[in-house]
Amino acid sequence: MTDLQLPRFCSEECRWKKITRDESKEHDAMVTKERRGLHLHRHYHHHVRIFTYEPCGGIVRHARRLEQEIYENPGSLPFQEILYCNLGNPQALGQRPINFFREVLSLCDNPPLIYRDEARALFSPCALKRARKIIESLPGNDSGAYTCSQGVRSLREAVADGIAARDGFPSIPDNIFLTDGASSAINMMMQILIRSHEDGILCPLPEYPLYSGSIILHGGTIVPYNLTEDSGWGLEIFEVKRCLEEARASGLTIRAMVVINPGNPTGQVMSMTNQEEIIELCMKEGLVILADEVYQENVYTENKKFNSFKKVARSLGYDHKEISIVSFHSVSMGYYGECGRRGGYMEICGFGPDVIDEIYKLASLTICPNIAGQILISLVMDPPKLGDEAFEIFMAEKEETCSSLLKRAKALQKAFSSLEGVSCNKFEGAMYLFPRLRLPPLAIKAAEEECVPPDVYYAHRLLNATGIVVVPGSGFHQVSGKFHIRCTILPSKEKITAMVTRLQAFHEAFMDEFRS
Amino acid sequence: MTDLQLPRFCSEECRWKKITRDESKEHDAMVTKERRGLHLHRHYHHHVRIFTYEPCGGIVRHARRLEQEIYENPGSLPFQEILYCNLGNPQALGQRPINFFREVLSLCDNPPLIYRDEARALFSPCALKRARKIIESLPGNDSGAYTCSQGVRSLREAVADGIAARDGFPSIPDNIFLTDGASSAINMMMQILIRSHEDGILCPLPEYPLYSGSIILHGGTIVPYNLTEDSGWGLEIFEVKRCLEEARASGLTIRAMVVINPGNPTGQVMSMTNQEEIIELCMKEGLVILADEVYQENVYTENKKFNSFKKVARSLGYDHKEISIVSFHSVSMGYYGECGRRGGYMEICGFGPDVIDEIYKLASLTICPNIAGQILISLVMDPPKLGDEAFEIFMAEKEETCSSLLKRAKALQKAFSSLEGVSCNKFEGAMYLFPRLRLPPLAIKAAEEECVPPDVYYAHRLLNATGIVVVPGSGFHQVSGKFHIRCTILPSKEKITAMVTRLQAFHEAFMDEFRS
């Protein structure tokens, strides 16, 4: 069997919670030594060293080694391919892109095509028209130039119009920053907000580890609040208040609160009442709301719908001067799933022009976001409308993707729920299931002997036996003693059937192996 | 006249040199106050506040206001358009893209086209073949998925092969990171290398302000070494040694040396002897060489050619374990000029696997570079070859762009040199002229009265009179008392003629106005 090569196990609860401060002290001691000439050289910044990002981390590296092994020695492993369920990466798993979007991108890459008669055989009139409109608004009437660091104005206008149509409240292009995906936008905001390790950011637990990674990298402190698994990963406002007060008592200044809606990795959709409580709290306590709304088009439950935090704040009567909200969105999710394009926006509300200027300056250091991503986010926020020629096909493609996602989610949810000792959250939104594993004591002991957390042990055993890659719950900093895995719902219908069979067989054998 | 709205003048030499430490003290005092509850809130990190990036800075914001004014009140200003000579942004100024590159990008955005008969009327066989090869190597056989955080392996292989062919020394795909342009790669390396303000990075002066910006942002200290204008902006190794020793004596640990070849903003091409001296110095002193080689295809002088630092090091007999070199390249420059795509690579030589792992982890925090940029850098490093059908057209387009660039550079160089009190560097490489202005004492006095550096004053007066945007030399942190402007050579032939007339008329009037 391939060597597990796992990180060291650490049994203390929420080690990562303490990591910034403890490692800071260690680092300071080291720097002092170095100044005295005791140590010659250390290679890299300690923040870089200590942050982790498990969805692309140890288990994925291990999967890539297995993949190489399959390539070099076909038949040497008990499976023929690796099934990457670690990331929400729809098109890698066979999801078809929206044709209209791809046609427009293709034309914008090569604008002379727009004016060629032969192009009518390959591109729809609607795509030709939209591409022409976009190209005419770009610098030099081409798609190859640097744009404004905030993104092309006409594309920001399309995004702002889309937000206004979605929310029923105005949005202005000056408050929109187009970005290389949501990740770089979130990094940028952390860089702006965090001034020292005395600054804390409230984050949900379990959390998408981009947040902890980015906070650690920029030298701040994570202040986690727990989501309640028993109430479908609900957010209890008293729990947030408790964490806020405890953090302040320990000397931290709390700068912002991260909310992920629909949830990642937990897949819940927030109720409006819950959002109102959060807004009132952040208003009262002077916190910036960092609203991760990238799964806004991934809501699958009939009695819930997505509401942006800005919309809820405006509905409560708060205007743009009273509360600071940053909303993040991306072309990677939804029914579009264009991850590799790296497109996104952030809408910045309730900040003064001095802060907007600083964000602009920070964005200008990489000059501008990539143009394909800029164009795509404008299409996502301004897709074909009723009356447009392309509308029917677009809607059919969109609905097919959405209903197929729901079907696959249900199949996987059913499969996980059928496993011994496994309970699976109700799938309301986003792209993941986050089932809880109740593992036998002997399995936990085996994990301890290997010096890894039990969920990491389970995930590696699953990978080694089936080729299925999932992320252990500890990668999302779930509290210790509770074991989960995050698995995307994205594999194709055909693959899900085979996957379920392999998963069930593995789980049964695993439980048998460790039965007392 | 539109209000100048300029930054405050600061007469001390190299204010930016001191900025990190002085502002750090101010910041610390502020944080202490804040902890005592005297200040409630400050919005953003002091590193974000203090760095500057003039090529997209104050003068560009002023130009955008003027542009808006032209749009709203045509005829209200003495010119009809703004000519942005502040950035090397070829396609915004009319440079035609290479067709082969655009065809491949266009096909990769919409892969079903590759297999359609009608596509043969619009795309060359060579582009169809290349696009097919690329698509077949991408995850999910499509261009919409997240890729490996380091970039798609097949595209890294193309880049590595291109480097090996260029240098005559092997390059391996594992050492290549595809990136969203060179800027994000440089930022990533600064984030890795800088551990505290006690870490210094050697940078040329005048410098491309991405370096100072990124160093300040990541909390390090800039250690400038002067280039010698009188020897065509040559690098004198004793000057570098002097700066290194002085910085070490002041308690800094010097981590790396930045070299920009061909030079930006100064346009010189380094001699191999000079590169050898730098390599020997960095070997001896244990410094990482950060080699900005983005203008490697922009060399216009017959008796000089581009040599990568890695090639020179290997030619000296140093292998990959002995010296650490990071080479940055980009799709934004050269004859391709695809700035808005944000594509690039860095080749990392002489680092241990632990450092490579940390760089990978940092890259994974934004998951992957954008796919169009990844594809484009692979095309730039592996363009059509002799024998390929597309070769002749490709070469004709490339040569037309290169010879046109040289002609325009010569016309502008002649124009600047003809101006009273102006001397212009010989144009050897890159995309800029960096003429020196000898301004009359009364002009310097007028600038002081407006509280701005004289070159900023000149650049703003030029903009207000002609609509031409250049970057003042102080934006590149040129030593005070010497006044320069950086002007790109990129405006089209037709525009350059009009530009030269306006420039000459303005300069004459300006000199007359301030003649004693």
- Judged by DSSP in three states, A255 sits in strand
Place of tokens 């450092």: B355
Residue of B nearest to A46 (CA): B195
Q: Does domain A99-136+386-398 have CATH number 1.10.287.1970?
A: yes
Three-state SS for A131-189 is: HHHHHHCCHHHCCCCCCCCCCCHHHHHHHHHHHHHHHCCCCCHHHEEEECHHHHHHHHH
What integer pLDDT is reported at residue B94 of this predicted model? Answer: 85
For residue B191, give the nearest of A48, A97, A337 by CB distance. Answer: A48
Hey, are the CB atoms on B370 and A341 less than 8 Å from each other?
yes
Determine whether A117 is exposed, middle or buried from the number of CB atoms within 10 Å of its CB (0-12, 13-18, 19+).
exposed
- The order of strands in the sheet holding B253-260 is B176-179, B344-349, B325-330, B288-292, B253-260, B199-205, B221-226
Name residue A407's amino acid: K
DSSP A182-246: HHHHHHHHHHHH--STTEEEEEEES--THHHHHHHHTT-EEEEEEEEGGGTSEEPHHHHHHHHHH
- Judged by DSSP in three states, B487 sits in strand
Cα(A484)–Cα(A500) distance, rounded to whole angstroms? 17
Hey, are the CB atoms on A361 and B103 less than 8 Å from each other?
no
Our CA-based measurement puts residue A50 at a distance from the nearest CA of chain B, in whole angstroms, of 10
Quick one: tokens of A14?
């929420």
Is A208 within 8 Å of A430 (Cβ atoms)? no
What integer pLDDT is reported at residue B56 of this predicted model? Answer: 76
Is A368 within 8 Å of A149 (Cβ atoms)? yes
What integer pLDDT is reported at residue A325 of this predicted model? Answer: 97
Quick one: tokens of B8?
């405050």
Hey, are the CB atoms on B370 and A342 less than 8 Å from each other?
yes
Hey, are the CB atoms on A352 and B187 less than 8 Å from each other?
no
Hey, are the CB atoms on A145 and B94 less than 8 Å from each other?
no
The CA-atom distances, in angstroms, between B351 and each of A6, B132, B153, B166 are 23, 35, 20, 22
- Domain chopping of chain A, boundaries: 15-93+403-514, 99-136+386-398, 145-381
Determine whether A415 is exposed, middle or buried from the number of CB atoms within 10 Å of its CB (0-12, 13-18, 19+).
buried
Relative to beta strand B422-423, strand B344-349 is unpaired
What integer pLDDT is reported at residue A43 of this predicted model? Answer: 54
User: In DSSP terms, which residues pair with B432 in a beta bridge?
Assistant: B488
Interface predicted TM-score of the whole assembly (ipTM), two decimals: 0.91
B contacts of A364 (beta carbons < 8 Å): 53, 56-57
Task: Tell me the average confidence (pLDDT) per consecutive run of 10 residues in chain B, 516 residues long.
Answer: 31 32 44 32 64 79 90 91 92 92 98 96 96 94 93 97 98 97 96 93 94 93 94 94 97 97 94 96 96 96 93 94 94 95 97 89 93 98 95 96 92 94 90 95 95 94 96 88 93 90 96 92
**Main-chain dihedrals φ then ψ at residue A19, nearest 5 degrees:** -65, -40
Is B456 within 8 Å of B50 (Cβ atoms)? no
A contacts of B51 (beta carbons < 8 Å): 361, 365
A248 interfacial to chain B (CB closer than 8 Å): no
A52 interfacial to chain B (CB closer than 8 Å): yes
Could you tell me which residues come within 8 angstroms of residue B63 by beta carbon, excluding any fewer than 6 positions away? B82, B84, B86, B463, B467, B469
Is A300 within 8 Å of A427 (Cβ atoms)? yes
Longest dimension (CA), chain A: 74
Question: Among residues A96, A114, A112, A95, which one has the least CA distance to residue A104?
Answer: A114
Q: Does domain B99-136+387-398 have CATH number 1.10.3470?
A: no
Cα(B77)–Cα(B70) distance, rounded to whole angstroms? 7
What is the CATH T-level fold of the domain B146-381, as seen in this structure?
A: Aspartate Aminotransferase; domain 2 (3.40.640)
Our CA-based measurement puts residue B154 at a distance from the nearest CA of chain A, in whole angstroms, of 14
Our CA-based measurement puts residue A123 at a distance from the nearest CA of chain B, in whole angstroms, of 10
User: In DSSP terms, which residues pair with A348 in a beta bridge?
Assistant: A326
Residue of B nearest to A60 (CA): B148
Is B134 within 8 Å of B140 (Cβ atoms)? no
**Main-chain dihedrals φ then ψ at residue A422, nearest 5 degrees:** -115, 130
A324 interfacial to chain B (CB closer than 8 Å): no
Our CA-based measurement puts residue A366 at a distance from the nearest CA of chain B, in whole angstroms, of 5
Quick one: tokens of B193?
């290398």
Hey, are the CB atoms on A110 and B103 less than 8 Å from each other?
yes
B contacts of A358 (beta carbons < 8 Å): 43-44, 48-49
For residue A340, give the nearest of B92, B358, B370 by CB distance. Answer: B370
Q: Name the strand (E) or helix (H) holding A253.
A: strand A253-260
What would the CATH number be for the domain defined by A15-93+403-514?
3.90.1150.10
- Per-residue pLDDT tens for B39-63? 223 456 777 777 777 777 888 889 9
A contacts of B362 (beta carbons < 8 Å): 48, 217
Determine whether B96 is exposed, middle or buried from the number of CB atoms within 10 Å of its CB (0-12, 13-18, 19+).
middle
Our CA-based measurement puts residue A10 at a distance from the nearest CA of chain B, in whole angstroms, of 21
Could you tell me which residues come within 8 angstroms of residue A345 by beta carbon, excluding any fewer than 6 positions away? A151, A156, A159, A176, A177, A178, A179, A185, A328, A329, A377, A381
B30 interfacial to chain A (CB closer than 8 Å): no
Residue of A nearest to B47 (CA): A195
Our CA-based measurement puts residue B66 at a distance from the nearest CA of chain A, in whole angstroms, of 15
Q: How far is CA B15 from the centre of its chain?
A: 22
**Main-chain dihedrals φ then ψ at residue A177, nearest 5 degrees:** -115, 120
What integer pLDDT is reported at residue B49 of this predicted model? Answer: 72
A17 interfacial to chain B (CB closer than 8 Å): no
Best of B33, B59, B364, B471 to mutate (most A CBs within 10 Å, chain A): B364
Is B259 within 8 Å of B293 (Cβ atoms)? no
Hey, are the CB atoms on B339 and A56 less than 8 Å from each other?
no
The alpha carbons of chain B give a radius of gyration, in whole angstroms, of: 24
Three-state SS for A277-296 is: HHHHHHHHHCCEEEEECCCC
User: What is the DSSP-derived secondary structure letter of residue A452?
Assistant: S
B33 interfacial to chain A (CB closer than 8 Å): no
B109 interfacial to chain A (CB closer than 8 Å): yes
Our CA-based measurement puts residue B107 at a distance from the nearest CA of chain A, in whole angstroms, of 7
For residue B145, give the nearest of A91, A145, A149 by CB distance. Answer: A91
What integer pLDDT is reported at residue A44 of this predicted model? Answer: 64
B56 interfacial to chain A (CB closer than 8 Å): yes
Could you tell me which residues come within 8 angstroms of residue A224 by beta carbon, excluding any fewer than 6 positions away? A14, A17, A202, A203, A204, A205, A207, A243, A477
Cα(B388)–Cα(B104) distance, rounded to whole angstroms? 15
Hey, are the CB atoms on A365 and B217 less than 8 Å from each other?
yes
B44 interfacial to chain A (CB closer than 8 Å): yes
Residue B157: how many other CB atoms lie within 10 Å: 17
Quick one: tokens of A77?
């492993």
Quick one: tokens of B392?
């002749």
A contacts of B214 (beta carbons < 8 Å): 365
A85 interfacial to chain B (CB closer than 8 Å): no
Q: Does domain A145-381 have CATH number 1.10.1760.20?
A: no
Question: Among residues B433, B429, B428, which one has the least CA distance to residue B496?
Answer: B433
For residue B194, give the nearest of A45, A113, A122 by CB distance. Answer: A45
A372 interfacial to chain B (CB closer than 8 Å): yes
What integer pLDDT is reported at residue A333 of this predicted model? Answer: 94
A361 interfacial to chain B (CB closer than 8 Å): yes
Hey, are the CB atoms on B92 and A146 less than 8 Å from each other?
yes
A142 interfacial to chain B (CB closer than 8 Å): yes
B429 interfacial to chain A (CB closer than 8 Å): no
User: In DSSP terms, which residues pair with A256 in a beta bridge?
Assistant: A201, A288
Question: Among residues A82, A101, A208, which one has the least CA distance to residue A477?
Answer: A208
What integer pLDDT is reported at residue A426 of this predicted model? Answer: 84
Cα(B65)–Cα(B309) distance, rounded to whole angstroms? 42
Which stretches within B125-172 are classed as H helix?
Answer: 125-136, 153-167
DSSP B216-253: HHTT-EEEEEE-BGGGTSBPPHHHHHHHHHHHHHTTPE
Hey, are the CB atoms on B102 and A109 less than 8 Å from each other?
yes
- Domain B15-93+405-514: CATH superfamily is Aspartate Aminotransferase, domain 1 (3.90.1150.10)
Is A224 within 8 Å of A478 (Cβ atoms)? no
A373 interfacial to chain B (CB closer than 8 Å): yes
Cα(B52)–Cα(A364) distance, rounded to whole angstroms? 10
Cα(B57)–Cα(A292) distance, rounded to whole angstroms? 30
Cα(A397)–Cα(B410) distance, rounded to whole angstroms? 55
Residue B121: how many other CB atoms lie within 10 Å: 13
Which segments in chain A show pLDDT lower than 70? 1-44
Residue of B nearest to A324 (CA): B43
Is A151 within 8 Å of A374 (Cβ atoms)? yes
Quick one: tokens of B225?
């070494």
- Judged by DSSP in three states, A275 sits in helix
Determine whether A186 is exposed, middle or buried from the number of CB atoms within 10 Å of its CB (0-12, 13-18, 19+).
buried
B423 interfacial to chain A (CB closer than 8 Å): no
Quick one: tokens of A224?
């986690």
